[in-house]
Amino acid sequence: MSTILIIFCVLAAVTVLTAFLTIFSRNPIHSALYLVICFFSIAGHYLLLNSQFLAVVHIIVYSGAIMILFLFTIMLMNLNKENEVHKPRITRLGAIVSFCLICLVLLTVFINSKPIVGEYISTGDDYQSIKVLGKVLLNEYMVPFEFASILLLVAMIGTVLLSKKEKTEK
């Protein structure tokens, strides 16, 4: 086997394992740390695809800024096991059924998808170039880019308001 295939398999295993550990970890801080490892392994996949700029931006944005946001959110909410509400069995069953149905739909889509056969038309633009990538992001995808930033801002404000304790009069 080639070294690139071995590196890909190791990165894929780390990505899948840490994604599952993120979901199934009981401690929210551990979940956040597993998510950081998952983000770094995804950046490794970008490097394998020879997309160094995207890998560095992914590390800076997701592993840096977004994870700091998540950690602040977790710490502001002050999640304790004593305060945790236990979900009824019907809710767990509903989540399992929903997960299985989504997996079935995705599997059906992947099985029934057909690759595009034909000539690849190249525009000649180098999307590794920061200049070209910036033009595409800030011209064609300006509105979704701004919606994403507003969504993050609203989520953070909502978290702060939810975690804010009400003053009790003594």
Write the pLDDT tens digit of every residue in 43-52.
Answer: 999 999 888 8
Does residue 7 carry a pLDDT above 60? yes
Higher pLDDT among residues 79 and 40, named by residue:
40
DSSP one-letter code for 25: -
Q: How far apart are CA 92 and CA 82, in angstroms?
A: 20
Cβ neighbors of 119 (< 8 A, separation 6 or more) are none
Burial of 44 (0-12, 13-18, 19+ CB in 10 A): buried
Interval 55-72 mean pLDDT: 80
pTM equals: 0.58
Q: What is the mean pLDDT of the chain?
A: 81
Tell me the domain boundaries of the chain: 1-109, 126-164
Interval 16-44 mean pLDDT: 89
- Contact present, 4 and 48 (Cβ < 8 Å): yes
Q: How confident is the model at residue 15 (pLDDT cuts 50, 70, 90)?
A: very high
- Contact present, 64 and 99 (Cβ < 8 Å): no
- Contact present, 55 and 32 (Cβ < 8 Å): no
Q: Tokens 């299985």 map to which residue? A: 100
Model confidence pLDDT, tens digit, residues 76-134:
766 555 555 566 788 888 888 998 999 899 899 888 887 777 777 777 666 667 777 78
In 3D, which of 126, 125, 6, 128 has the Cα closest to residue 56?
128
Return the pLDDT at 165: 62
Domain at 1-109, CATH class: mainly alpha
